[in-house]
Structures are given as C-alpha cells and as structure tokens.
Structure 1
Amino acid sequence: MTTLDTPIRPEYELAHEPFTAVPLSRPLPFHRRLWQQGWVRKAVILLALAVLWEILARIQDNDLLLPTFLATARAFAEGIANGELPGKAAVSLSVLVQGYAAGIALAFMLTTLAVSTRLGRDLLDTLTAMFNPLPAIALLPLALLWFGLGSKSLIFVLIHSVLWPLALNTYAGFRGVPETLRMAGRNYGLRGLRYVVLILLPAALPAVLSGLKIGWAFAWRTLIAAELVFGASSGKGGLGWYIFQNRNELYTDRVFAGLATVILIGLAVEGLVFTTLERVTVRRWGMQH
C-alpha cells in the first residue's frame, strides 16, 4: 500500500456546551463574607475580652480592685460627656506630636550622616549602643533638673524614646537597599541628602515605617508613664495625670476609663494612620504583603 492509498482521518469538531450550561459556583454566605473582613474579627476579639472582663469582675466582686466593664464604660461615657477625657487626651497628644516630630527629625539627620560618611556611621553605632538600652524613664530626674516641671521635660524624654529605635530601623533599611539602586543613584550624580531622599528612603520605606510604628509605641507609653510622675503643669495634665489623680482618690473605674482611652487612641493611630500609610505606599507598590 502506497502512501497515497492510506486512508485520511476525517476532520471533526467538538461541540462546546454553552457557557450558561456550566454550573456556576455558589457565592459565599453573608456571614462568611462578613468574617473575611479584618475589622469584624478584631471587633469580635474586643467583645470577647470585654465579656471576660465582666465575668472576672463579677467573680471578684470588689469595685475597688477591679470594676466591671459596664462600670468602666459608664465612667468613660461620663468623662467624654463632661469633656474631661477629651481635654486630657488633647494635652497628651499635643506634647506627643512635638516630641515625636523632633525625634523623627533627629533620627533622619543621624541616619543621613551615617550613610554619607564613615565618621557618621561610627557616631550612630556608638550613640545607639550607649543610649538605646537606657530607659527613657531613667532620664526623668535629669529632665526635671534641666527643664523644670512641664512640657519641655516630657518632650525631652519623648525624643529619647523615639530617636534610637527609629534611627536603628532606618539605618538597617538603608543598608538593605540593593546595590543596583545605589549604583543607579550614583550614575545620576546623586550625593548626600538628594541621594538619601530620592534613592535610599523610597527603597527602605518598609523598614522606615516599621521604625515609625515602634517609635510611636515607645513614645506613647513613655509619655503616659512620665505624666504619672510630673505631667501636671500650671494645673494642666494629660491622661497619665488623670489616671494618677483618680488612683489617689480611689476612683478605680475612672482609672480604668483613662487606661481605656490610652488603648483606644493607640488602636486608632495604628488602624487609621499607619495601616492607611502602609496601604497607600508599600503595599500598593508591591514592597510588602
């Protein structure tokens, strides 16, 4: 049999089923779609903690030691209604912003100097090794001696609490920038501050944001602790002083209301400021997942 005598297989077409005939997957139930929202899960955790608090307080049955969650909520609502808690929070936040901003500026100056010169790198290594392990509270006596009773002393300890962790994180981020980006910046003739702002800072932004978050947490708790000691000036004090005063007067529910205000402000800053900043920068640019 020759090649020409070989039978040729007839062509054929497969009839595809219409798209509507293919069964579609059922959408997730509403409760499962709701559970996928992060804020819902966090709200459930907070609710569970509140219920646990209420149960433990009722078992303890001593409002002086542990007021119930409902009693604390009433004290919190009264403090909001009469304007005392918002006023104390405003005093604390105004001082915090000043110290936090000054700490960020000094940290940026130190890290810029460290990546620009060898002497600056040695200076940053030496200063962070000396002062980073030193608790900010340990500087309270010196702050009182140098700046007196008031906001200047608070700003001094806040700068100390922000400066070193932020400088360490930022410098570590700068050192982790790929060499290709560094070479690109040098090829464009970038030096000094322009090199740091245009090349190193965008590439190290995840580490910088992490340092800002750590610095914020350190500054917030340092401020409250410092106000417990000398936070009142000219009859004005922040949340730490509010907690200290009510503790002396044995208003334990107001003490817990003040602590709840501190926690809520921390959650608000974390959820509204830093999470939003990460979403519009490093997550949007694919630098963080």
Structure 2
Amino acid sequence: MNAFKDPPIRPEYELALALPQAGGTSAAEPAATRLDLTWLRKAGILLVLAAIWEVVARWYDNDLLLPTFVQTGCALVEGLASGELFGYIGVSFATLLQGYAMGVAGAFLLTWLAVSNRVGRELIETLTSMFNPLPAIALLPLALLWFGLGKGSLIMVLMHSVLWPLTLNACAGFRAVPETLRMAGRNYGLGGLRLVLQILIPAALPAILSGLKIGWAFAWRTLIAAELVFGTTSGQGGLGWFIFQSRNELFTDKVFAGLAAVIIIGLLVEHVVFQTLERVTVRKWGMER
C-alpha cells in the first residue's frame, strides 16, 4: 500500500541534441530550394512553349498569319528600344490607374454600406447580382453616349469591371470574420471606425487582396478590349490601339509583340505588386500558406 501512496520519483536525465550531419540541410534551405525549383520549372515551361511556337511557325511558314517567336521577340525589343511601346503603355496605365482607383473607392463604399445594416446588405446583394454578370465592354456604347470621346468613357467601364468583384470579395471577407474577434475588439474598447480598421480589415484582408487581384485582371483586359474597339482617347492611343493599328497595317509581328507586352505587364503586376503585398501581410501574419 505504501508503494501506491508514495510512488518512486524518476531521476532527471538529459538528451543530447543531435548535431546536423555533414552535408545536411537546415529547415530554411529546403524552402529556398523549393522556391528555386519553382522558378526553374516555370522557366522550363516557358522555354518549351516558345520552342513549340517557333517550330509550328516555321512549319506553317506564313509570317503574315503566324510570325515566329524570334520575330515577335525582335519586334518587342525594337518597340521598347525606340520608346514607341513605352508611350502606348504609359497612356494605358494612366487611364487604368484612374479607373482602378475609382472602382476600389466605390467598392469599399458599397462594402461599408453592406456591413453597416441589413437593408444595405440586401441592396448590395441585389446590385451585385444584377451588374456583376454584365460584361464591362457591353457598357462602352452607353459610356460613349454619356461621356463622349475621351477618358471618361474608358474610366466608366473600368470602374464597372473593378467595382462588383471587389465588393463581392470584400463583403464575403467581412462576413467571414469570426464573432470572437469582434467581441475581443469590443472588449478592448474598439468601436466604429477603429474596430473596422484594427479588427475587421486585417481579418478580411485575404479576401480583400483576392478581390483586388481579380479587379485588376478584369480592369486590365477590359481596358485593352475597350481600346481595341474604342481606339484613341483625346488623340492618344494605348496598348490596345497599338495592337489594332498594327493589325490594320498587317504588321503581325507587332500585333504579337503587343499581346506579349500585355501578358508581361500582367505577370509583373501579379508577382511584384500583389505577391509582395501578400508576403508582407497575410503570409507574414500566418493567415495563408
């Protein structure tokens, strides 16, 4: 009975840490290796696609319909070196930033209205159900009628392309914030705008960033399509107008160079801007992997 009442005390002991073996890798090294391999795989895929393009174009042997990858690359380099493409890209980006900024501002205003009360939420749900499926380019004739031949027409369609997807994602992100976080913010004395800025927006940031990326993609492709249809704004043409004009002049290599510029700009914005934002916010905070 005494053995059960007073069990023996086990002596303390220490385990020696196993030293890394020669040639071994630390925990940080596999992540860097995976990152390097990811870039290598992506570069390999691009090289394979370029090689297939080159082979098919040479086999087809019609530069007017399908220029080779080398011809397209030369046209792109020449356009950049002469500054011609930079001028068109600058015009497109000036219009894009105005429409995108106004669309983002409008989306956050609608989101605030949706999360403030039930009537606002029902109103925004109805509006997004009506206008989100509507292609932005379909509003271009109406925009031309209202705003005439100028930037105003393009800005209107850009706002439409950004407004509704960002509003949907932001509203979904705010609704997904756990009630415990809201209660914790109230317990710290936060309310109104402080609660939104310090609790709701950081918690809903993954959905907001996703909406910003979707809105950017919609706005970029809508702008190029609108410039192809609409042409110049105030006597200045953008990248879409460059593609359209090159097609009219039968410079197919320049058409492909313009399309390549559209793709490259999209990739740069995605990797430099949005992935950087994700890395310094939601990934750093452990909200995404």
**Matching of residues 2-81 of structure 1 within 5 Å:** 23-26=21-24, 36-37=35-36, 38-81=38-81
| Matching residue of 1:267 | 267
1:239 aligns with 2:239: yes
Tell whether the 8 Å contact from 2:149 to 2:234 is kept in structure 1 after alignment. no
Q: Distance in 2 between matches of 1:251 and 1:67?
A: 10
Aligned to 1:161: 161
One-letter amino acid of the structure 2 residue matched with residue 42 of structure 1: K
Q: Is the 8 A contact 1:35 1:41 kept in 2?
A: no
Give distance in 2, aligned partners of 1:99 and 1:141.
17
Q: 1:112 to 1:24 in 2, by over 3 A?
A: same
Cα distance in structure 2, aligned partners of 1:103 and 1:189: 33
Q: What residue in structure 2 maps to residue 222 of structure 1?
A: 222
Normalised by the size of structure 2, how large is the TM-score?
Answer: 0.88
Q: Report if the CA contact (8 A) 2:169-2:207 is conserved.
A: yes
Q: Say if 1:231 and 1:241, in contact at 8 Å, map to a contact too.
A: yes
Aligned mates of 2:256, 2:60 — CA distance in 1:
16
Cα distance change on mapping 1:122 and 1:191 into 2, 3 Å: farther
Runs of 5+ consecutive residues of structure 2 not aligned to the other structure: 1-14, 27-31
Q: Which residue of 2 aligns with 1:5?
A: none
Deviates more, 1:237-246 or 1:193-202: 193-202
Relative to structure 1, the CA distance from residue 43 to residue 18 in structure 2 (aligned partners, 3 Å threshold; closer, same or farther) is closer
- How has the CA–CA distance of structure 1 residues 229 and 35 changed in structure 2, closer, same or farther, with 3 Å as cutoff? same
**Amino acid aligned to 1:282:** V
Secondary structure of 1:79's counterpart equals helix
* CA distance in 2: counterparts of 1:19 and 1:122, whole angstroms: 61
Q: 2:224 is matched by which residue type in structure 1?
A: I
| Distance (whole Å) between structure 2 residues aligned to residue 287 and residue 134 of structure 1 | 33
Q: What percentage of aligned pairs have identical amino acids?
A: 69
The one-letter amino acid of 2:153's match is S
What are the equivalent positions in structure 2 for 1:104-183 lying under 5 Å apart? 104-183=104-183
1: distance between equivalents of 2:139 and 2:234? 22
How many equivalent pairs are there? 272
Distance 1:166 1:142, change over 3 A: same
The CA RMSD over aligned residues, in Å, is 2.4
Looking at structure 2, the residues matched to 27 and 125 of structure 1 have their Cα atoms a distance apart, in angstroms, of: 52
What's the offset of the Cα at 1:194?
3.1
User: CA separation in 2, counterparts of 1:99 and 1:195?
Assistant: 29
1:39: Cα distance to partner? 2.6
1:36 CA drift (Å):
4.2
> TM-score, normalization: structure 1?
0.88
For 1:176-195, list aligned pairs within 5 A. 176-195=176-195
Contact 1:112 1:193 in 2 (8 A): no
Task: Output the amino acid matched with 1:120.
Answer: G
Larger radius of gyration: 1
1:211 aligns with 2:243: no
Mapped to 1, the partners of 2:77 and 2:56 lie a distance apart of 22
1:24 is aligned with what amino acid?
A
Q: Tell me, yes or no, if the aligned pair for 1:34 and 1:40 is still in contact at 8 Å.
A: no
